Copies of this chain bind each other. A is one copy, B any other.
Amino acid sequence: MARARTTLRDVAQKCGVHLSTVSRVLNRKEGYAISEEVADKIRKAAAELGYKTNPFAYSLRVNRSFTVGVLVPDLSNPVFPPIIRGIEHRLAHSGYTAFLGDTDNKVEEEHRIIERMKGRQTDGLILATAHRSDDLIKTCIAEGYHVVLINRSVEDTAVASVINDDAAGIEMAVRHLLELGHRQIAHVAGPQEISTGYQRYLAFLDVMRKQGLEPDEELVAFCHAYSEDEGKLALTRIFESGKRFTAVVAANDLLALGCYDAIEQQGLTCPDDISVTGYNDMPFANKFKPPLTTIHIPLYQMGERAAEAVLTMIQGPLSQPQKITVHPELVLRGSTGPRG
């Protein structure tokens, strides 16, 4: 650090013009009149001296940071890297950069990091950490921050979001299992205070009922987090209920992975004894044994669209918050098979 950057003054001096002229040339604002002659000279000098606009001075002046804060609950969950890359790719395209924050699934950390982002004056916020009822987000919006939710959404707050159609996804999973002949289907549900956990649970009940299969309470277990451990624990509880079942719909891939463990621990095998479906089609989902049948959602593109959304909010005057819903797809792999 501490290299002396060339400033507008430096290039102005070299060209024998005033620095404001240089600023005008380099910014190429509409409707400005500048002689091509001097403009060329200035551009050449700027290039020679390696002029780069000082981001602090610029931001101070225009009151924008050209950054956005991105919060994820757990960077180690493989769903997030593709999302983050999509976000960054789109942001970079517009000269924006992301500040990344990992909340470690802790509300307390969420607050801390949001405070940090606000302190950094990020122009917008992309949050993958939403809870169904989320005062933190409500506050941010009330304060006028531009926020876009990704993957998860909140209830009773008007906020931009890009999510997938959870109901459609779960319906595909359940129908697939039904077609394979399964009738006793268990559900390892996600945290109910998170929209995905709740919506997928609702959808599960709904599809089952539409098929005339009243879902059995004992065949549903709720997890407190989207982690393998929780998935294993949950399915183990179902096993211990003694209730028979031949397939499990897990609310996400990590949970499904935990189900693998529970099944193995019972001395059973997947899919011969129990079929399992996941959700998200996270990287490596195809690498486990067995490769996971799951619901694919376009993570990277969701990231791009979230970035797109936050950028338009930053630029334009905020109208109605955009709600973008992408469509999930069933991807058939090795963890589901005909009822044994």
Tally of this chain's copies: 2
Determine whether the beta carbon of B145 is less than 8 Å from that of A1: yes
Q: Name which of A94-102, A173-181, A240-248 contacts chain B.
A: A94-102
CA gap between A78 and B283 in the complex, in Å: 10
CA gap between A92 and B101 in the complex, in Å: 10
Could you tell me which A residues sit within 8 Å of B by CB distance? 1-3, 52, 54-57, 59-60, 63-65, 75-76, 78, 81-82, 84-85, 88, 92, 97-102, 104, 116, 118-121, 123-124, 143-146, 228, 257, 283-284, 287-289, 314
Q: Which residue of B lies closest to A146 (CB)?
A: B1
Chain B residues, Cβ within 8 Å of A143:
3
Q: Which residue of B lies closest to A144 (CB)?
A: B3
- Residue of B54, B84, B123, B257 near A1 (CB, 8 A) is B123
Give the Cβ gap from A318 to chain B, nearest Cβ, in Å: 10
A-B pairs with beta carbons under 8 Å apart, 24 shown:
A1-B64, A1-B123, A1-B124, A1-B314, A2-B63, A54-B121, A55-B119, A56-B56, A56-B65, A56-B121, A75-B84, A76-B78, A76-B81, A76-B85, A84-B100, A88-B100, A92-B116, A97-B120, A98-B100, A100-B100, A228-B287, A257-B287, A287-B288, A289-B289
CA gap between A314 and B124 in the complex, in Å: 29
Give the Cβ gap from A20 to chain B, nearest Cβ, in Å: 18
Chain B residues, Cβ within 8 Å of A81:
75-76, 81
